[in-house]
Amino acid sequence: MLDRRLQLHLATWLGQWPAGPGLHVIASHRRAKPAWDGRLRPALAVDTGQSGVLSVPPDRVAAIRALLQRAPDQLLPRLPEAVGLPDWCVHDGPFRWTLAPAPLPDVGEWTEPTAPGLPAWLRLFDRPVLVVRDADGAYLAGAGIKRHDAYGRELAVGTVAAARGRGLARRLVAQAARRVLDEGAVPTYLHERDNHASARVAEAAGFPDRGWRAYGVYPR
């Protein structure tokens, strides 16, 4: 049975869950509102391989349903144009979650995203982020929590090139996942299908690939 927190997250994030067989294009006013970072996500989908939900703004539902019926193999490449943002891009890859992060030792410290020396992507977060620094205080790696709703929190992680290969990312992801679970939500992890390094981090941190897929239209 699917974890109730995950069901509530998907129902809130997408606008409907679960769904019957096939792909269901549904309307959600959240697709026309800024996401966690203040930017739109005008199309979002999660697909289990048997059923899926594609969430789009209400005024785009009819056009996207027609596109799906007329040319299903063109849905992804034409999705940005179909939501009225042809210059935006499509992200597509596994949808992962965990209730049992890998028992890796903590490695980072929680700090405000306004702390000195952090990369720009960590400054997008409005709550503490998880950071690893070297002995001189220089930034090595970090993780942030995207608080999509009360039930689901997506993790993001990054490591500077010189510090890769030390296992910092997987330890940060596992540490952040434990915090999310402690807060009563379920941690999720998304990455592009061809990002093999990110896939290895996810697997090592306890986020298996269950054959689920997430895709959508994102700002470049």
Over residues 102-130, the pLDDT tens digits come to: 999 999 999 999 999 999 999 999 999 99
Structural domains present in the chain:
4-96 (no CATH), 109-208 (3.40.630.30)
What is the average pLDDT score of the chain?
Answer: 97
Tokens of residue 214, six digits:
């997430």
Nearest alpha carbon to residue 143 among 162, 124, 161: 124
Place of tokens 């999705």: 79
Of the pLDDT bands very low, low, confident and very high (cuts 50, 70, 90), residue 2 is: confident
Place of tokens 């993780």: 143
Task: Give percent of the chain with pLDDT exceeding 70.
Answer: 100
Region 155-175: what's the mean pLDDT?
98
Beta carbons within 8 Å of 164's beta carbon, 6+ residues apart: none
| Cβ-contact 89, 208 below 8 angstroms | no
- Between the CA atoms of 81, 194, 96 and 143, what dihedral angle is there, to the nearest 10 degrees? -100
Half-sphere exposure of 184 (CA within 13 A, CB side): 3
- Between the CA atoms of 191, 195, 199 and 202, what dihedral angle is there, to the nearest 10 degrees? -50
Tokens of residue 89, six digits:
């891009």
**pLDDT over 90 (residue 25):** yes
Tokens of residue 81, six digits:
């144009």
> pTM of the entire structure?
0.96
Rounded to 5 degrees, what angle do the CA atoms 83, 87, 88 make? 65
**pLDDT over 90 (residue 164):** yes
